[in-house]
Amino acid sequence: MPPLRIKSLRNSKVRRCAYIRSPGTAVKFEFMEIINIEARTFEAMMARFETLVERVDTLCRVNGDKTLKEWLDNEDVCRTFGLSLRTLQTYRDNGTLPFSRIGNKMYYKTEDLKRIIPLVASRQKKLNNSNTD
């Protein structure tokens, strides 16, 4: 049987991996770094973490419940208001409709949508009137 050989060794700040191959098998070994800290340093870190948790809790209480129930995505807006995706894009582009982006997905506040409903309705009326003339 031929001897085992190390194919590659990858280093990172957190983890070290070695891939060892023999005919017909491949084995990955991961090595973990252990970091020791003094007890008083750990206690100081935990105290600062608790302070952060308290601040976040305070902000959540002050600002109320901010959940995604108040937000609609592109599909919800188009379905609810009878808009096309292109029209929605135009409203975003010209600043008519504020939005938030998380990753590649757009979200809209329901209060912003309620504010632009009259605007959308008046534009639709103008388009319908110009088409009938």
- In order of their start, the domains of the chain are 1-35 (no CATH), 68-124 (1.10.1660)
What pLDDT does 52 receive? 94
Show the tokens assigned to 43. Answer: 């206690």
What pLDDT does 43 receive? 93
What pLDDT does 41 receive? 92
Q: What is the pTM of this model?
A: 0.45
What pLDDT does 87 receive? 87
CB contact burial 110-130 (16+ within 10 A = b; e otherwise): eeebeebeeebeeeeeeeeee
Residue segments in the chain with a per-residue pLDDT below the cut of 50: 1, 4-9, 11-14
CA-wise closest residue to 109 among 79, 62, 67: 67
Tens-place pLDDT, residues 7-18 = 444 544 445 666
What pLDDT does 7 receive? 46
